Amino acid sequence: MAMARACTGLLLLAGTMLFTGCARRVGREFVEPAQASTLDHESPYLKAHLRDGELCILANWSVDEAARTVRGHGIRFDAARSSSRILDVLVPLDSVVLFETNVVRLSPTITSLAVVTGASVSLTIYCALNPKACFGSCPTFYVSDGEREVLQAEGFSGSVAPVLEASDIDALYRARPGSRRLDVRMTNEALETHVVRTVDLLVAPRPEGGRVLVTSDGTFWEAFEGPPLERASASEGDCTAQLAAFDGVERWSSTDSTDLAAREAVDLEFGPGCSGPAGLRLACRQTFVSTSVFYQSLAYLGTHAGDWIAELERGSTLARERIGAMQRALGGIEVLVPDSTGSWNEAARVDEMGPIATDVHLVLLPPLPAGATRVRLRLARGAWRLDNVALVRLGRRVQPFDLAPAAVHRDGIPDADALARLTDRTRTLTTSPGDTYVLTYVLPADFERQELFLASRGYYLEWMRKEWVAQEDPVRAVAFFADPHAALRAMAPEFKRGEASLETQFWGSRYVRP
C-alpha cells in the first residue's frame, strides 16, 4: 500500500502539471501610435486597431519608427471581422488608432497551490514511508480546567483486546468545575474501535491544604506538599527546572541507538523535614516509543494479527505472557530509594500506559531517613516524559465514592441509549473514529472541595492499516515475541533514525495537545 500512496502522490504531481498549464493570466497593454516605441516586444502578437474599424493581428512584428510603419506576418480583419490571411502586413502608424499587446504568463495564484501540493505530496510520501506515524490515540477525555477544555485523561490504553479489558483510574488533577454540573467530553480520535463499559467519576473530599492522590493499585491518599525538590539530575545534567512544577514543561530524553530498552537514571534530592509516611507525586506520560513498538508488532503479525487476538481470547497463557514480556522489557518507571547501605531498592513502579495525557500518580515510599531524601527513577531511555516530581506527606487513606454519568449527549442531542449503556455494567458503548460524547455528572454541593478521578473501563481494537499488512513478516513476529529484548535492540537503529521527526509528526498531526 506504500506503493499505492506513492502512486497517489505521483497522480497529484501529474495532475498538478496538467492543471498548471491551464492557470494563466493575460497582461494587456494599450499604446497609442505616438508611443509605438514603447510597445512591449515580449508580446508575440501585436493588435493594431485601425481607424476604419479593421484590425490587424501581427506575429513577428516590428516597428520602423523612421518609416512610421509596423510590419509583421498576420491576419487582417475587416470591420465585420471577416478575416483574410496575409503573409506580410505593412501598417502605416497614421492608420492606427490603438495598439494592443498581450503577454500570457503563469498565474501567480498557482504558487499557493504549488506550496500546498508540495506539502501534500511530501505528506503522502511520508505516510507511505512512515505509516506508523499517522495515527491517533486511545480513548481521550477532555475536562475544563476552569478556563478552557483540556485533555486530561486517556482510558485503558493497555487494553488492546477484549480479554485485556481493564479499568483505568486517571486523576483529573487540573479539573476546575464551575458548578455542580461537570461535563467530560469523550472522543475517539484514532483508527480504533473503542468498547467502553463504564466511565465514572470517583470523588473524594479534598483535605484542607492538600490533595488526594491515587496509587497504581487504586488506593487513595490525602497528600500534602513536602520538602521541595532541591536537585534533579540525569545524563544530560541538571533538570530541576523541568521537574519542579506541574506546568507542562517536561523532562525527556532520546532513545538509545542500540537498544530501546536501555535504561537511564534520574536522581532526585529533596530537602529535609519529611517525617512520617511519605510518597512521591509523579506526573508523567509515555513517549512515542511504546506505541511505536506495539504498532510494529502488529505490522509484523500483518494478516495474522486477528489470529493473535483470537489466541488471546481463547485464554492462551502463552500469548498473554508474550505481551507481558514485551511490556516488561520496555518497563515502567521504577522508583528506587537507598537503604542503610546505600544500595538502591525498588519501592514501587509506575506502569501507566499512554502517550497523550499526563497522569498524576502517587508512589508510596518506605519510611524515610532523617535529613534529605534521595530518590532515583530508573526508566527506559526516551520512553517517558516527566513533568513533575514532588515529595508529599501522606495523610489518611480515603475512600472515594462513585458517580455515574447523569446524562450523555452526542452532537448536542441527548443520547439515552449511550447513557443506558454506560450505566449498565453488562453492556458497552462502542465508538468509532470521530465519535464524540459529552458525559455530564452531577457533583456534590461542595464540588470545589472534591478531588476528581476518572474511572474508565473497556478495551479497544486497533484497526489494521494496509501499510502494516505490507510489513507482515512471520519470522520477525515470532522473534519479536519470543525475545523482546533482542527485538528492541533490532528496532533501535531504525527507530533512532526517525525518532525526532516521528515525535514532531505525531504531535503535529493532532489537533489537540496534552
Partner 1 sequence: MCARDRIIRSRWSVVLAAVALAGCAHPPSPAGWLPGPRDAPTDAFGAWVRLDLGGTKAANPSGELLVAETDSIWILSQGRVNGRALASVQRVEMWTYAPTSDGLVGWTLLGVLSTVSHGYYLALSAPAWILVGAVASAVESRTGREFLVPSDLDGLRARARFPSGWPPDFDRRTIAGKRVEVRAPHDGRLDAWPGGP
**47 lies in the binding site for partner 1 (CB under 8 A):** yes
Is the CB of residue 313 less than 8 Å from the CB of residue 162?
yes
Instruction: Give whichever of 6 and 347 is closer to partner 1, judged by the CB atom.
Output: 6
- Site residues for partner 1, 443-502, by CB under 8 A, read 463, 465
First to last CA, the chain: 32
Q: 5, 322, 361, 457: which one contacts partner 1 (CB under 8 A)?
A: 5
Rounded least distance, CB 46 to partner 1, Å: 9
Nearer to partner 1, 189 or 256 (CB): 189
For position 48 contacting partner 1 by CB under 8 A, the verdict is no
Among 40, 71, 134, 277, binds partner 1 (CB under 8 A): 134
Q: Rounded to the nearest whole angstrom, what is the least distance from the CB of residue 142 to partner 1 in the complex?
A: 16
Residues in the chain: 514
In angstroms, rounded to a whole number, what is the distance separating the alpha carbons of residues 385 and 251? Answer: 6
Sketch the per residue contact string, 152 through 191, with partner 1: x for CB under 8 A, - otherwise. -------------------------------------xxx
Q: Is 506 exposed, middle or buried (0-12, 13-18, 19+ CB in 10 A)?
A: buried
Residue 401 interacts with partner 1 (CB under 8 A): yes or no: no
CA dist., res. 210 & res. 453, Å (int) = 16
Among the listed residues 38, 41, 44, 369, the single contact to partner 1 using CB under 8 A: 44
509 in contact with partner 1 (CB under 8 A): yes
| Identified binder of partner 1 from the candidate list 21, 306, 369, 493, rule CB under 8 A | 21
Residues 6 or more apart from 56 whose CB is under 8 A from it?
Answer: 47, 48, 50, 72, 74, 75, 76, 77, 89, 91
Nearer to partner 1, 22 or 318 (CB): 22
Taking residue 89's Cβ as centre, other Cβ atoms within 10 Å add up to: 20
Alpha carbon 161 to chain centroid, angstroms: 23
Q: How near is the Cβ of 57 to partner 1 at its closest, in Å?
A: 5
Residue tagged 443506558 (cell numbers): 420
Is 43 a binder of partner 1 (CB under 8 A)? Answer: yes
Provide the grid cell at 310: 483470537
Q: Which is nearer to partner 1, 66 or 80 (CB)?
A: 80
**Helix or strand or coil: residue 17?**
helix
Query: Which residue lies nearer to partner 1 by CB, 43 or 290?
Result: 43
Nearest to 80 by CA among 55, 47, 112, 45: 55
Query: In the complex, what is the shortest distance from the CB of residue 30 to partner 1, in angstroms, rounded to a whole number?
Result: 4
Select from 358, 394, 361, 357 the least CA-distant residue to 377: 361
Q: Tell which residue, 69, 247, 149, 182, has the closest CA to residue 444.
A: 182
Looking at beta carbons only, is 387 or 435 nearer to partner 1?
Answer: 435
**70 interacts with partner 1 by CB under 8 A:** no
User: Cα angle at 62 between 57 and 65, to 5 degrees?
Assistant: 120
Binding site for partner 1 (CB under 8 A): 4-5, 8-9, 11-12, 15-16, 19-26, 28, 30, 43-45, 47, 49, 51-55, 57, 75, 77, 79-81, 83, 97-98, 100, 102, 104, 107, 109-110, 112-113, 115-117, 119-120, 123-124, 127-128, 131, 134-136, 189-191, 193, 432-434, 463, 465, 509-511
